[in-house]
Amino acid sequence: EPEGLSATTLLPKLIPSGAGREWLERRRATIRPWGSFVDQRRFSRPRNLGELCQRLVRNVEYYQSNYVFVFLGLILYCVVTSPMLLVA
């Protein structure tokens, strides 16, 4: 890893050191490639409800960190575009 590009230096300075920062660093370290995360060619119709449930569980386990960052990005977008959400 090139000097100056570690997860610690890339994290915003607003996040205090401690448990929150460590959790975010662990999430960043386990992000799967975004190309495989959004590759629509890998999508197919499940044969039955059991297979659908298995695939959902495996997908969430494998791409857990990716989903966390998508969720955080959506929350940030909602707060920036509609600050009144903080009041509600």
In a domain, residue 80? The reply is yes
Asked if the structure places residue 42 within a domain, the reply is: no
Instruction: Check pLDDT > 70 for residue 17.
Output: no
- 31-42 residue pLDDT tens: 888 888 888 888
Per-residue confidence band for 3, with pLDDT thresholds at 50, 70 and 90? very low
- What range defines the domain where residue 70 resides? 47-87
Residue 28 lies in a domain: no
**Given 3-state DSSP classes, what are the helix, strand and coil percentages for the chain, each rounded to the nearest 5?**
65, 0, 35
Give the pLDDT band of residue 70 (cuts 50, 70, 90): very high
3-state secondary structure of 46: coil
Closest-CA residue to 42 (of 17, 67, 63): 63
Domain-located, residue 57: yes
From residue 50, alpha-carbon distances to 46, 55, 57, 59 in Å are 9, 9, 11, 14
Q: Is residue 64 part of a domain?
A: yes
Count: domains in the chain? 1
Bigger pLDDT: 6 vs 64: 64
- The verdict on residue 56 lying in a domain is yes
Q: Quote the pLDDT of residue 5.
A: 45
